Amino acid sequence: MGADTERRVAMVTGASRGIGKAIAKRLACDGRRVILVARNEDTLLSVQGEIESAGGSAGVLAVDVGHTDAWREGIEGVIANEGRLDVLVNNAGVTRDNLMLRMSDEEFDDVIRINLKSAFVSMRAASRAMMRQKFGRMVNIGSTSGVVGNPGQANYAASKAGLTGMTRSIARELGGKGITANVIAPGYIQTDMTSSLPDEVKQKVLGAMALRRLGEPEDIAAAVSYVSSDEAGFLSGQVICVDGGLTMS
Kindly list the catalytic residues: 156
pLDDT, average across residues 142-167: 96
Determine the residue type at 138.
Answer: M
Per-residue pLDDT tens digits for 61-101: 999 999 999 999 999 999 999 999 999 999 999 999 999 99
Position 6 confidence tier, pLDDT thresholds 50, 70, 90: low
The answer to whether residue 59 sits within a structural domain is yes
The predicted structure's pLDDT at residue 204: 85
Query: What is the number of structural domains in the chain?
Result: 1
Instruction: Report the DSSP beta bridge partners of residue 170.
Output: none
Q: Is residue 123 classed exposed, middle or buried when 0-12, 13-18 and 19+ CB atoms within 10 A define those classes? A: buried
Whether the per-residue pLDDT at 166 is higher than 90: the answer is yes
CATH number for the domain that contains residue 146: 3.40.50.720
The answer to whether residue 152 sits within a structural domain is yes
Per-residue pLDDT tens digits for 187-197: 999 887 677 67
The predicted structure's pLDDT at residue 91: 98
Domain extent for 40: 9-239
Position 5 confidence tier, pLDDT thresholds 50, 70, 90: very low
The answer to whether residue 81 sits within a structural domain is yes
The predicted structure's pLDDT at residue 249: 57
Whether the per-residue pLDDT at 235 is higher than 60: the answer is yes
The answer to whether residue 128 sits within a structural domain is yes
The answer to whether residue 4 sits within a structural domain is no
Q: Is residue 6 classed exposed, middle or buried when 0-12, 13-18 and 19+ CB atoms within 10 A define those classes? A: exposed
The predicted structure's pLDDT at residue 3: 41
Whether the per-residue pLDDT at 2 is higher than 90: the answer is no
Whether the per-residue pLDDT at 163 is higher than 50: the answer is yes
Q: What is the mean pLDDT of the chain?
A: 94
pLDDT, average across residues 140-157: 95
**Residues of the chain with pLDDT > 70: what percent?**
96
The answer to whether residue 91 sits within a structural domain is yes
Q: What is the pTM of this model?
A: 0.94
Position 205 confidence tier, pLDDT thresholds 50, 70, 90: confident
Of 171, 149, 172, 169, which Cα lies nearest the Cα of 161? 149
The answer to whether residue 208 sits within a structural domain is yes
pLDDT, average across residues 154-181: 98
Alpha-carbon distances of 115 from 59, 78, 104, rounded to whole Å:
23, 21, 17
The answer to whether residue 247 sits within a structural domain is no
State how far the Cα of 186 lies from the Cα of 244, in Å rounded to an integer.
Answer: 9
The predicted structure's pLDDT at residue 57: 97
